Each structure stands twice: as C-alpha cells, then as structure tokens.
C-alpha cells in the first residue's frame, strides 16, 4: 500500500455523470473519468486485504462474489496509486483480455465484495480499471503484439461475443491459427448489437477487434454456420471448433393476443437501433421505433433498463416497465450479508432518464401481462395487467386485480432460455434440459470429438465478465488437447 490509511483519509469519488436531461439527446457514453491524480487517490483507498474477496470469484449464497476473472485488484490498485500505469496494465491484462469492455459494462462484482464496502463505500475498482486501459491506449501500451511462433494448428470459433473473442485471443497468443465466424454483419456479438451505445460505444469494440486482426486472427462476418455454412465443412477444415454462440433464444410471454403487431423481443429492438445508428445515423423507418408510442417493457433486468433508456431517446409518449418480483430492499437484508452479492434496490440509467422525462420511475412491481389487446387490423392497442402475490411461496395472480393500460409497443425482456437449437443440431452435440450444450463435468468438451463450447451457450445467460472467463478456460482446454500441455 502506498498509503495504508487511504481508506480512512479519502471518500469514494465516482466518475462524473452527464445529467439525464442532457444525455438523452444522444447515444453517446455519458461518464467522464476522473483525472489521473484523482484516480490515484481513489486507488489509495484499497486496503490490500489479507483475504481480498474482490478477486475471489466464488459462489456464495448461490451468487458470485468477487471477480470471476480473479483480477489482481489489490496489485494494480497499488500500481495506479504510485503512478506505475504500464505495470498496472500488464497486471490487468494477465487475467482480463478486454478491460475496455468490462470497465464499461460489468456490474462490478469486485466492488460488491470489497472489504471497504462492508462498513462503508467500496473502492472504485471499475473506474480504476477504466483509467488503466484508456491510459494504455493513449500511451501506446495496448498496441498489437502478434505471436512470434505459429504452431500450425487451426481453430474455428463460432460466435464473436465476449467468450468467443476471449478464446480466440488466448489461442492466437499461443500461436494457433484462429478464425472467428460471426453470423451478423459486424464483429462483437452481444458487445456490438446487444449492449446500447450509451453503455459501450461501438468504436471501442472495433478498436479492440482491429488489434486482434493485426495480431493474426481472421474474422469472417455474415457467416451463419449451421445454415448458410456447413458444420461438417468447418469440422473438416479445423483441428478444433469452439461453439460460442450465446444464449440467444429469448423467453416469450405466451398469453392471448401475443400475435398482435407491435410486440417484439428486446434483443431485436436494441439491435435495430444500434444497426440503424451505425448504418445510416438512425434514419426514420430503418429501425423499430418507440417515437410517440405508449411502451411497455416486460422485464426488470439490465436488458429491460436498456430498452427504457433507448425508448426515452426515441421520444416515446410513455414508458411502463413491468417487474414480476417484489421491490428489493434499500439496504442488505439480514440473510444477505457481505461479501454476498447485495440483493438491494437500484435505479439504473434508463429509469433515471424516464423519471426525468415522465416525472416518475417507470417500474411497476409484482405485475405481469394477462392479455394483449388489438384492433381489427391486428395492431396492438393495450394490455390487461394483473398483480402477483408471493406470500404463499409461489407466484399466484391476485383475484380481481386486473387493469388495462394503453400500449402501442411491447418489448419482451424476460431473459433467455438458452442457445438456438440449429447450431447444436448442425454439429451433432448433446444439450441439457435448458438447451445449453452438454459437456463433461467441469470441462468445455462437448459430446462430439474436437468440438468445445464456451460462454452463455455453455452456462446459460450470464455476464460479460463470466463469458470472458469461459472463453479463457475453454482456450486452455483446447490448447492442452492439441499440444499435450498448455502454458495459457
């Protein structure tokens, strides 16, 4: 520790945030980093704990506590505090292939497990990480570093989301020849089309993938393996294949009127906005628009919040966000002690913006849709909502609690059921009851020889940081099986 009393001397200070009234006028990231001097002081708040839960990545209370990547947080906090930026970058890159992504979109599991947070405010770990990686780009540390020796082994990665990119990055550094296939027109998967620009501007994604190209990775876009491209051809061309296609099968809301025009999945809505932004600057009639519409967002997670923030920017007439579960407490409950992940109420950027524009938080709790209403042309006109009760330990609808609201657009953000089946069927690999790819216990090996899986396709819907860990672990297994040993 450069200052063993830093956690007592300095208060937590976060990145500056553009006011909601200003940021809703565009689709740009809205956090302004602290100065290097201020960030160094924030790093001095790290206690260099004897048992640093921030980097543990353990399952506690059925939730992850600490960083799944086991980032060496106390080490690079110290290096930042003394101004050793290059060394901090090198320590960070030992465990994290993409700090430029996680420092923007990760929910900071590290901070939730920070010892400072047990009786106060945690260290600004994510902001420190952001400053380390952006300084590395500014100073030229993050330049391409292609491997000096090639092994001659060829590996195909199907899917260019965070797990696929992490596996490709690791295997390329090892000297294998890696080709990444992406069914969309741009590289990045979830990072490109699943996360709005406000959280992750797309030049940040291409900045990194351009470096990966310069390091020798081949990317093939508009390549829908299992449909337009033969899985058997891929298997014949490569020594190993990694399936990292994500959990892209959305959960539906199957009630009367579901077939009405104006009901779509959140992932399709968000992708249409991002694609139109990149293709034509959001020209009218080129995307699913919420402008002047009464919008219902079904789902209270990150994706639902992203839909709310996007609808605000479109100029929606009104926004209602439905959450099936009860509202969480403001502070930790007795049965949710530190260092468990805190199950507490939070207001995210989208809800903040909706409150600014419409005067109140858009969320309604313990509520779901009982029926969608439509006109004679099959266009959505409204929805019948019903309250839910959990007092019996089961979710039941409250009798006579139905009420009707106007709706012109419904966005279903109710999570995902697993991967799309056509990929697993094309490769002839087994799946489990949730349509995730079945693997040997504690491995990434599927039921078919030389076919592996990583990310949400393996473990189900999860976080970007867990997907990166999945990709790294899968790459290690592939390397070992190809070479008889691994140094990854």
CA angle (165 as vertex; 164, 170 as ends), nearest 5? 100
The dihedral of CA 98, 101, 107, 110: what is its sign? positive
pLDDT band at 4 (very low <50, low <70, confident <90, very high): confident
β-strand pairing of 218-220 with 416-418: unpaired
What pLDDT was estimated at residue 66?
A: 96
**Contact of 104 with 199, CB cutoff 8 Å:** yes
Q: Which domain-ending residue is among 361, 384, 414?
A: 414
Q: State the Cα–Cα distance between residues 156 and 172, nearest whole angstrom.
A: 11
Please determine, for residue 359, whether its predicted confidence score (pLDDT) is greater than 90. Answer: yes
Q: Is 148 domain-assigned?
A: no
**Contact of 75 with 129, CB cutoff 8 Å:** no
Please determine, for residue 1, whether its predicted confidence score (pLDDT) is greater than 80. Answer: no
Element (DSSP H or E) covering residue 171: helix 162-173
Q: How many C-alpha atoms does 236 have within 13 Å on its Cβ side? A: 5
Q: What integer is the mean pLDDT of 313-335?
A: 96
Please determine, for residue 155, whether its predicted confidence score (pLDDT) is greater than 80. Answer: yes
Three-class DSSP labels, 210-245: HHHHHCCCEEECCCCECCCECHHHHHHHCCEEEECC
- pLDDT top residue among 171 and 5: 171
Q: Is 144 domain-assigned?
A: no
**Contact of 380 with 409, CB cutoff 8 Å:** yes
Q: Is 72 domain-assigned?
A: yes
Please determine, for residue 418, whether its predicted confidence score (pLDDT) is greater than 90. Answer: no
Same domain, 273 and 389: yes
Q: Which domain-ending residue is among 414, 432, 464?
A: 414
- Find tokens 């502070």 and name the residue: 331
Please determine, for residue 2, whether its predicted confidence score (pLDDT) is greater than 80. Answer: no
Same domain, 256 and 383: yes
Instruction: Give how far the C-alpha of residue 375 lies from the chain's centroid of Cα atoms, to the nearest Å.
Output: 37
- Find tokens 């996007």 and name the residue: 310
What pLDDT was estimated at residue 161?
A: 97
Phi, psi of 216 (to 5 degrees): 115, 0
Q: State the Cα–Cα distance between residues 480 and 371, nearest whole angstrom.
A: 53
What pLDDT was estimated at residue 425?
A: 96
What DSSP line would sit under 242-310, residue for residue?
EE-----EEPP---BTTTSBTEEEHHHHHHHHHHHHHHHSS-TTSS---TT-EEEEE--SHHHHHHHHH
Q: Which domain-ending residue is among 81, 107, 139?
A: 139
Q: What integer is the mean pLDDT of 11-20?
A: 95
**Count: domains in the chain:** 3
Please determine, for residue 308, whether its predicted confidence score (pLDDT) is greater than 80. Answer: yes
Write the CATH number for 64. 1.10.1060.10
**Contact of 129 with 212, CB cutoff 8 Å:** no
Same domain, 90 and 218: no
Same domain, 377 and 425: no
pLDDT band at 3 (very low <50, low <70, confident <90, very high): confident
Its domain, for residue 77, covers 6-139
Same domain, 15 and 36: yes
β-strand pairing of 380-389 with 58-60: unpaired
Element (DSSP H or E) covering residue 187: none
Phi, psi of 370 (to 5 degrees): -100, -30
Same domain, 131 and 21: yes
pTM assigned to the model: 0.96
What tens digit of pLDDT does each residue of 225-250 get?
Answer: 999 999 999 999 999 999 999 998 99
Give the C-alpha distances (Å, rounded to integers) separating 195 from 27, 139, 245, 279: 12, 28, 16, 16
The pair of three-digit structure tokens given for residue 454, joined into one six-digit string:
């990583």
> Which residues make Cβ contacts (< 8 Å) with residue 344, sequence separation at least 6?
328, 329, 330, 331, 332, 336
Same domain, 115 and 175: no
What is the radius of gyration, based on Cα positions, of the chain? Answer: 23
Q: What integer is the mean pLDDT of 27-37?
A: 94
Closest by Cα among 11, 88, 85 to 42 = 11
Please determine, for residue 407, whether its predicted confidence score (pLDDT) is greater than 80. Answer: yes
Please determine, for residue 62, whether its predicted confidence score (pLDDT) is greater than 90. Answer: no
Please determine, for residue 61, whether its predicted confidence score (pLDDT) is greater than 90. Answer: no
Same domain, 279 and 405: yes
Element (DSSP H or E) covering residue 209: helix 202-214
Same domain, 260 and 389: yes
Write the CATH number for 298. 3.50.50.60
Please determine, for residue 393, whether its predicted confidence score (pLDDT) is greater than 80. Answer: yes
Please determine, for residue 296, whether its predicted confidence score (pLDDT) is greater than 90. Answer: yes
CA angle (247 as vertex; 246, 248 as ends), nearest 5? 95
Same domain, 174 and 204: yes
Q: State the Cα–Cα distance between residues 26 and 196, nearest whole angstrom.
A: 12
What tens digit of pLDDT does each residue of 94-149 get?
Answer: 999 999 999 999 999 999 999 999 989 999 999 999 999 999 999 999 999 999 99
Q: Using CA atoms in the order 313, 319, 324, 329, what is the torsion angle rounded to 10 degrees?
A: 70
DSSP state of 190: I
Closest by Cα among 102, 190, 114 to 465 = 102
What pLDDT was estimated at residue 434?
A: 85
**Contact of 427 with 243, CB cutoff 8 Å:** yes
Instruction: State the maximum Cα–Cα separation within the chain, in Å, rounded to a whole number.
Output: 71
Closest by Cα among 105, 248, 239 to 182 = 248
Closest by Cα among 399, 364, 406, 362 to 384 = 406
Q: Is 80 domain-assigned?
A: yes
Same domain, 397 and 421: no
Q: What integer is the mean pLDDT of 305-310?
A: 98
Same domain, 445 and 336: no
**Contact of 125 with 73, CB cutoff 8 Å:** yes
């Amino acid at each position: 520790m450069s200052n063993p009393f830093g956690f007592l001397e300095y208060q937590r200070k976060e990145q500056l945030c553009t006011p909601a009234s200003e940021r809703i006028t565009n689709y740009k990231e809205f956090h302004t980093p602290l100065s290097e001097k201020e960030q160094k002081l924030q790093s001095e708040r790290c206690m260099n704990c004897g048992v640093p839960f921030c980097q543990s990545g353990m399952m506690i209370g059925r939730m992850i506590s600490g960083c799944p990547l086991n980032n060496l947080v106390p080490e690079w906090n110290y290096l930042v505090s003394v101004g050793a930026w290059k060394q901090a970058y090198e320590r960070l890159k030992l465990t994290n292939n993409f700090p430029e992504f996680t420092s923007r979109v990760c929910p900071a599991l590290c901070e939730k497990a920070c010892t400072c947070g047990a009786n106060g405010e945690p260290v600004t770990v994510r902001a420190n990480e952001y400053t380390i990686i952006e300084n590395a780009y500014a100073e030229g540390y993050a330049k391409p570093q292609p491997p000096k020796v090639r092994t001659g082994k060829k590996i195909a990665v199907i899917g260019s989301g965070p797990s696929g990119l992490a596996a490709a990055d690791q295997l390329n550094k090892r000297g294998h020849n890696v080709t990444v296939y992406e069914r969309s027109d741009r590289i990045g998967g979830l990072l490109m089309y699943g996360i709005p620009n406000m959280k992750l501007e797309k030049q940040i994604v291409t900045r990194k993938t351009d470096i990966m190209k310069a390091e020798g990775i081949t990317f093939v876009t508009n390549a829908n393996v299992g449909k337009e491209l033969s899985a058997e051809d891929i298997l014949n061309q490569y020594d190993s294949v990694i399936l990292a296609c994500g959990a892209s099968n959305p959960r539906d809301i199957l009630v009367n009127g579901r077939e009405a025009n104006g009901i779509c999945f959140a992932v399709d809505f968000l992708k249409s906005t991002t694609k139109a932004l990149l293709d034509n600057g959001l020209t009218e009639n080129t995307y699913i628009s919420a402008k002047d519409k009464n919008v219902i967002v079904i789902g209270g997670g990150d994706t639902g919040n992203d839909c709310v923030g996007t609808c605000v920017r479109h100029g929606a007439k009104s926004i209602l966000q439905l959450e099936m579960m009860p509202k969480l407490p403001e502070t930790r409950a007795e049965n949710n002690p530190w260092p468990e992940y805190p199950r507490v109420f939070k207001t995210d950027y989208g809800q903040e913006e909706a409150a600014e524009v419409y005067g109140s938080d858009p969320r309604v709790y313990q509520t779901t849709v009982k029926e969608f209403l439509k006109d004679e042309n099959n266009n959505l006109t409204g929805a019948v909502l019903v309250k839910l009760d959990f007092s019996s330990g089961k979710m039941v609808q409250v009798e006579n609690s139905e009420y009707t609201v106007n709706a012109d657009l419904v966005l279903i953000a109710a999570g995902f059921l697993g991967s799309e089946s056509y990929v697993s069927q094309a490769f002839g690999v087994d799946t489990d009851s949730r349509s995730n790819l079945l693997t040997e216990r504690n491995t990434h090996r599927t039921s078919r020889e030389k076919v592996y899986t990583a990310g949400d396709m393996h473990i189900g819907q999860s976080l970007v940081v867990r997907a990166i860990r999945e990709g790294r672990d899968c790459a290690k297994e592939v390397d070992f099986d190809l070479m008889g040993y691994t140094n990854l």
